[in-house]
Amino acid sequence: MKIPILDLTAQYKSIKSEIDATIARVVDSQHFILGSEVEAFEKEVAVYCGTKYAVGVASGTDALILSLKALGIGPGDEVITTPFTFFATAESVSLVGAKPVFVDVDPKTYCINPELIEDKITKNTKAIMPVHLFGQCADMDRILEIAKINNLKVIEDTAQAMGATYKGKQAGSMGDIGALSFFPSKNLGGFGDGGMIITNNKELADKIRMLRVHGSTVRYIHSAIGMNSRLDAFQAAILRVKLRHLNKWLDGRRKVARYYDENLKGLPVITPYAPSYNTHTYHLYVLRVKPSPEKLAKALNDAGIEARTYYPVSLHLQECYKNLGYKKGDLKESESASPETLAIPIYPELGTERLSLIVKKIRETV
């Protein structure tokens, strides 16, 4: 039996008739970019996330880039972020011409450690970009407090954590801007690329609406250098259907996580830790295996159970960031945790038969 890390086919089958009717509706409309589907989806996401505004864009990466641009961050500026994340987080900072400044992570949640942020603030620091890694929120109260004292903006990279809550607040809704990704494997995944920014700040929302269409609000009149970053009607229409199921799917993920938590207890693997103020969405269920997950990964993959390391190399040690001058040992928690992680399959449709097979294989191997 093959068990993928995520099975989108099972999800599609469960809502096939709704999705197929929606796709047909968009085809009939022959309106493919922005338009009423996108506007309706933006309103629905704003309601879901508890923010005043939501603006659909072409990807999560673009949501980060446009957030930085809207906040006026560019060359000469520094943005504090985590080295333990998908590359797009830091890449967005570099792409607007600013410098990512990496701060080490909390060894239990793997999110940025707020206690280490203040040391890295300089006169050039403009923003903090926490990442809600693997589906749970970073410690936002401390981050927001530090931002307030130091007059910094906060952009929440919420690509992996739509639907997670921190002290009852939705991920992405607490800082100045939250950036969502609708990449197919995300908590809310489209049938292609897509992203959204959420904010309570009208000025920022309006600016991003303008920047996503070449810096224009009136056709062929350009008030800024923007980009082409529009959400398309197919994605919006499909995501509107999926949004109605999101909470149920997140509950399904939590059930699977509980099964793993209980059945992997006592083994020499560290299961995910969620502080009591967080509701985790388990975008990924990530084990930590010391000194290396290699043997376990091979045993699982040989048995047809997909397992992967997210992310093997901390961003401050990536070749493209050599110019930033970091060396091995600078950010110890991130460096030791990231290659020791192993994500195992998680999705609501896994079922007890496959779950017990996965647990059995892990028990046998470790």
Ligand X SMILES: Cc1ncc(COP(=O)(O)O)c(C=O)c1O
Residues forming the site for ligand X (CB under 6 A): 59-61, 85-86, 88-89, 131, 157, 159-160, 181, 183, 193, 195
What is the CB-side half-sphere exposure of residue 249 using CA atoms within 13 A?
Answer: 25
Q: Are 235 and 192 in contact (CB under 8 A)?
A: yes
Among 292, 317, 306, 291, smallest CA distance to 343 is for: 306
Beta strands in 212-260 (DSSP E): 216-218, 221-222
- Tell me whether residue 34 or residue 188 sits nearer to ligand X (CB atom): 188
Residue 195 sits at the vertex; the CA angle it makes with 9 and 215, to the nearest 5 degrees, is 150
Least CB distance from residue 59 to ligand X, whole Å? 4
- Tell me whether residue 60 or residue 226 sits nearer to ligand X (CB atom): 60
Rounded to whole angstroms, the Cα distance separating 242 from 180 reads 15
Least CB distance from residue 316 to ligand X, whole Å? 16
Give the nearest residue (CB) to ligand X: 60
Least CB distance from residue 88 to ligand X, whole Å? 4
Among 173, 166, 157, smallest CA distance to 80 is for: 157
Residues 6+ apart with CB under 8 A from 316: 83, 102, 324, 326, 330, 331, 334
- Tell me whether residue 53 or residue 134 sits nearer to ligand X (CB atom): 134
Least CB distance from residue 157 to ligand X, whole Å? 5
- Tell me whether residue 51 or residue 85 sits nearer to ligand X (CB atom): 85
Least CB distance from residue 58 to ligand X, whole Å? 8
Least CB distance from residue 195 to ligand X, whole Å? 5
Residue 243 token pair = 């949004």
Least CB distance from residue 68 to ligand X, whole Å? 13
Among 302, 335, 162, 183, smallest CA distance to 243 is for: 162
- Tell me whether residue 112 or residue 233 sits nearer to ligand X (CB atom): 112
The number of residues in the chain equals 366
- Tell me whether residue 59 or residue 341 sits nearer to ligand X (CB atom): 59
- Tell me whether residue 50 or residue 184 sits nearer to ligand X (CB atom): 184
Residue 64 token pair = 């980060």
DSSP 3-state assignment of 280? Answer: coil
Least CB distance from residue 268 to ligand X, whole Å? 28
- Tell me whether residue 42 or residue 259 sits nearer to ligand X (CB atom): 42
Rounded to whole angstroms, the Cα distance separating 293 from 281 reads 23
Specify the DSSP class assigned to residue 168: T
Residue 257 token pair = 């996580």
